[in-house]
Amino acid sequence: MNELSLRVDDRAGSGHALQSNILGWADLSAGRLLRSSRALRRNDSSRNGYHRVSQDERFMAHALELAERGRGFVSPNPMVGACIVKYGRLIGQGYHACFGSAHAEIMALRQSGGLVRGATMYVTLEPCSTYGKTPPCVEAIREAKIKRVVIATMDPNPSHAGRGRTILKRYGIQVTTGVLRRAAEVQIEAYSKWMRTGVPFVILKMAQSLDGKIASRTGESKWISGSRARKWVHDLRASCDAVLVGRNTVAADDPLLTVRNGKCRKSPWRIILDRSGTCSPKARVFGEGAPTILACSERLMDEAARKFRRTKVTFCPLKVNQGRLDLAALLRCLGSIGITSLLVEGGGEVAWSFIDGRLVDKLVWIVAPKIVGGRDAKTSVEGLGFEAISEAARVRMIRMVLVGEDLVFEGRLDSTCFRESLNVKQG
């Protein structure tokens, strides 16, 4: 993977240049690291306009790398990484590997053995302070006699934010917060939105030709993007809790919607939008491989249930407004069962429905160096569209990378349907 990047001038603030290096892998998620900590070590100099990296930043970058290993396996928990340092040397490290397993702090303490007294712990997320599937990490840190704890970002749960930090300080432990904060916030952005709003973080992904086509005039769409980009999409899919398409995609492509990257042990939930229940029960997406939810009109629920009675599909009946399913209600339903991130992979009509409903948080656009043409060929965003250019959805660009011969563009939209506050107080 080649990265097209711009150098960040440290005159904008010393933390900004450093965070741009870290955000390289955190923003373009899909569980893939872009060697962030090694980049930090190379840039550990104030020469040539680069920010001099502190020890806290270097070890926090390592903790963020560790946390990334849990992507796709820990949901609905957040990814967390931790490492323990004594006299400038790494003596233990750990990460939250899967839902229900030991927390990152506990794994790091176990690896450190009896050497942790007086050491510093670096952790990407504020240590937990309540009993859940595991005891609170703040107690384990106190018992280990850790001298100092460095935290990247606070707990996004409004009812818990700051509690762990307060307890640690009460125990006489030095606490530093906000080291590589932005990178840590981006890493757990799906968990944060779900925790604050109850709905999943929505990523809209499209693969199109240079002239905006997602299929030829005959409907052929295999393959717009190259093999490396398609493999990258499987990594992206593996990092999400659920993937969504519409009935037209099911009818045209008969997709499996599973992860086939040769290394992932699980596939996301498969969500099918089919207002009238017209999909064939024999479609591959309703077979084995991953759980499937069919979102249909509540008025046609009984009919759809009879049609799909021989499958293991789960139904999500929704109201229909102006001929479209209530997607906001669908997101609330998915959030209620612990789905924190949703990858939308449908066609142009589905894309417009999510954009028009202001439900998209992030865009991932794959642009292939091909021109398809055709006035009747499908485009990446269809639907009614905006009447005026001034009304068009504004995209804030994050970055672009080359994946094989294809250009991957990543940007953000304001998901205004579920307003949230990202101003978690940092100490």
Positions annotated as catalytic residues are: 105
Residue 287 CB neighbours (<10 A): 15
Q: What are phi and psi of 410, to 5 degrees?
A: -125, 130
Residue 424 CB neighbours (<10 A): 18
Q: If phi over 0 gives left and psi between -120 and 50 gives alpha, with beta otherwise, what is residue 371?
A: beta
Residue partners of 146: CB distance under 8 A and separation at least 6: 84, 116, 118, 119, 120, 121, 173
Reading the block at residue 212, the tokens are: 């905006």
Q: CA dihedral defined by 229, 234, 239, 240, rounded to 10 degrees?
A: 110
Asked if 118 contacts 84 with a C-beta cutoff of 8 angstroms, the reply is: no
- How many whole angstroms separate alpha carbon 104 and alpha carbon 137? 9
Q: How far is CA 69 from CA 63, 80, 98, 121, in A?
A: 10, 9, 10, 19
Polymer length in residues for the chain: 427
Say which residue the tokens 């924190």 belong to.
Answer: 340
